[in-house]
Chain A
Amino acid sequence: MIWLVLALAADPTDAGTAVRSHTAETLPAGEAVVRWPAGRSAVGLGDHTDAWLTPFDLTIGGPRVGVEHGGRLGATRWSLAPSVGAKTTLKRASLRLETNGSWDVGVHQLSGQVAVDVRLLRQLVVDEEVSRELSFDRVQAHVLGIWDTPHSRVKLRLPLADQGHGLTWGTVSAAWTHTTGRVHMAAGLGMLVGRPFDRYTLGHYAWWFWVPYPEVDLAVRF
């Protein structure tokens, strides 16, 4: 279980609410996607905008909601996805902005994403007077590249910055994918390599990790 938690925590962004995740593709108005187990479910608000919900975002320890707004320029699609997440205790909050681009090259699709996650700590300060103060806690920035074919997906994710550290770890995964009219499935294997840096999964322990993890994605479109 710790492997899965670790991997999911290391793979925090999941933009793209259409059938395939992580792509710059929004849902048409009135359509919805329910996604399992850890992705985001969404509903289309307009032809270029949808709203989404991740029930439990592991990096913040609570739910995350956001919107995604996109557009198309020829074979290129783009989207922006601002979101806000909060720990279930409401002591930590996260503001995230994901920028996505996808390019179709024949049956292949290349996608790229840059995500910046700023976390805030709401502290109960027991000092001369008891007060609650909001303080800056942490910034994470990631870049993600994806290569999709009709029946496969390869992902590579690298952290640009995390608590002052950059490029200290990465994840790479490969999955078989299958999409019918309403259902999208993906099953594969990922590997986390390096020295991840997180408060609650590992502390700051600095072993060089080679951690395999399963990648499972099931989406149903309505």
Chain B
Amino acid sequence: MTRILLCVGLVGCATAPSTLDLSDEPIDVAVALGIDHLEQAYSFTEHKRIDWDVVRDELQPLADAASTPEEEAHVLRRLVPYLPDAHVQLFHDDGDDLCPEARHSYDVTLTDLDDGRVIVAASGGPLEPGDTIVSWGGQPVDVAREGAPFWCFPLGAATNERRAQVQLKLLGRGPVGSTVDVEVLRDGVPRTETLSARPDTDDIRVALGIELPETMVDHRRLPSGMAYVRVGWEETYLAETRVQRALVGMRDAPGLVLDLRDNDGGMDMPAANIAGMFSTERFFYETVTFLNHRTFEQETIAELWVEPQEVYWGRPTAVLIDADTVSSGEGLTYLLKKMPQVQVFGFEGTAASFGSTGSGIDFPGGWHLTFPGGRALDERGRILLDSDHTLEGGNRPDQRLPWTEELVLRHHAGEDVVLEAAVGWLKEATR
């Protein structure tokens, strides 16, 4: 989940990502120095109104008292929620491991609906899809979700939407051997079930539904005759080459679905060049700034423009996004939203995390924290796409699918309702 800056050789690389090595320090010193470093180096302290003194007051006593690897890990995990940014990630040398509070699964997937209910979207236990959650562990579900171990999620959650999703993901997990009583309404009839936490996976990404795309770019022809191109990430220029080839190969299609769901980001120039395939005009993209590690000032290192490419796709185009569309995937969405032939579809907005990442801190015990040290600015010099202190930001769908019970259940049953909506619009637009 990166938005990479290309720092090439004999240049002023003080203005570039760097990693602070605190791995040999005791945990209390490492936490103190790490927070000091984040206060100086994290790009969005003011934008997100992070009060680092509050972070110190919360974490330093925990760090001072930590005496076991598990306690040290807990302190570091508690740091992540203070950085509401999907570019912030805590990971371990031995692979991401689940925290004890979310080790096992209650085998239930919960989701919010637009009408305010929380329902069961999928379940392998006694609960059934469509059940409305009334209480969880004896507490109203809205209270219970606030008590979910949010620190078990290894990525920052940059939006209110994402934060709510993470809470429900973690509510569906518990410590080894735990049980929870859940009161639901099924067909209007209240009932209580007891869920037992069971082992499911040791892979934190699988456990917490942090999806990663399998391929950089793939494409196919949909049964409707529309072209379909999925961009999983754009870390090399191969991404634009493959998108271009796909568009050329399917140039007789009346419309295009460009699927950016789960797009993991990459480099900005390939994203700009992909956007250039949808524009006949050259236009401004962003100014990139990065922290100068000598002066601790943000300095401009790049100005990016979108330029027309060798292929121009002017036909109706539906872009699909979700909350896992992050970084340069969000930049690409932002650019495509400017095109008159494009409509963006999704249940939710993008991850609102567009700052240039690659900075990091190595903590003791094999833990690493990555975070953005750079910003993207629009033509007026305003921060682009990253969420602010209200946890609002990113791209919103032009045509948002509502979280209704029917759509949610179909979505979790494996139907691609977002793609279905997009194809429906394309059929109308190309009629």
Contacts and interface: CB of A to CB of B under 8 A. Distances in A.
Interface of A: 2-3, 6, 89, 91-92, 121-128, 130, 135, 199-200, 202-212
A2 to B, nearest CB: 7
A123 B300 CA distance: 33
Given A91-B310, A124-B251, A211 B9 contact: yes
B195 interface: no
B264 interface: no
B327 interface: no
A199 B307 CA distance: 9
A206 B7 CA distance: 10
A125 B309 CA distance: 10
Interface stretch (B32-40, B311-319, B344-352): B311-319
Nearest to A87: B310
25 contacts: A89-B310, A121-B308, A121-B310, A123-B309, A123-B312, A125-B312, A126-B312, A130-B251, A130-B252, A135-B280, A199-B273, A200-B237, A203-B269, A204-B303, A204-B305, A205-B288, A206-B300, A206-B301, A207-B8, A207-B11, A207-B15, A207-B301, A209-B10, A210-B10, A212-B10
B8 to A, nearest CB: 7
B12 interface: yes
Interface residues of B, number: 37
A88 to B, nearest CB: 12
A135 B308 contact: yes
Contacts of B272: 203
Interface in B1-20: 5-13, 15
Going nearest first, the 10 A-B pairs with the smallest beta carbon separation are A127-B314, A203-B269, A207-B11, A91-B310, A205-B302, A126-B251, A125-B312, A206-B302, A124-B311, A126-B313
B248 interface: yes
A128 B251 CA distance: 11
A124 B269 contact: no
Residue with the greatest number of chain B CB neighbours at <10 A, chosen from A89, A123, A212:
A123
A210 B10 CA distance: 6
B268 interface: yes
B310 A123 contact: yes
Given A204-B304, A204-B305, A207-B301, A125 B9 contact: no
Interface in B341-368: none
B311 A123 contact: yes
Given A203-B268, A205-B302, A127 B312 contact: yes
Contacts of B11: 207-210
Contacts of B267: 203
- Most chain A beta-carbon neighbours within 10 Å: one of B6, B10, B237: B10
B363 to A, nearest CB: 30
B6 A205 contact: yes
B10 A211 contact: yes
Contacts of A205: 5-6, 8, 288, 301-302
A89 B245 CA distance: 12
Contacts of A3: 9
Contacts of B309: 123
B10 A124 contact: no
A89 B310 CA distance: 10
A126 B311 CA distance: 7
B301 A125 contact: no
A130 B13 CA distance: 45
A202 B300 CA distance: 15
Contact of A208 (B12, B237, B251): B12
B314 A128 contact: yes
B247 interface: yes
A173 to B, nearest CB: 16
Instruction: Please indicate which of the listed interface residues A126, A200, A202, A211 has the most CB atoms of chain B within 10 Å of its own CB.
Output: A126
Nearest to B15: A207
B310 A2 contact: no
Contacts of A128: 314-315
Nearest to B311: A124
Contacts of A123: 308-312
Nearest to A200: B237
Given A203-B6, A207-B11, A209-B10, A122 B310 contact: yes
B311 A202 contact: no
A208 B310 CA distance: 29
Contacts of A6: 8
B5 to A, nearest CB: 8
A31 B256 CA distance: 56
Which of B9, B247, B268 is most buried by chain A, counting CB atoms within 10 A of its CB?
A: B9
A200 B270 CA distance: 10
A208 B12 CA distance: 7
Contacts of A89: 310
A124 to B, nearest CB: 5
A2 B314 contact: no
A125 B6 contact: no
B311 to A, nearest CB: 5
Q: Which of A3, A6, A92, A124 has the most CB of B within 10 A?
A: A124
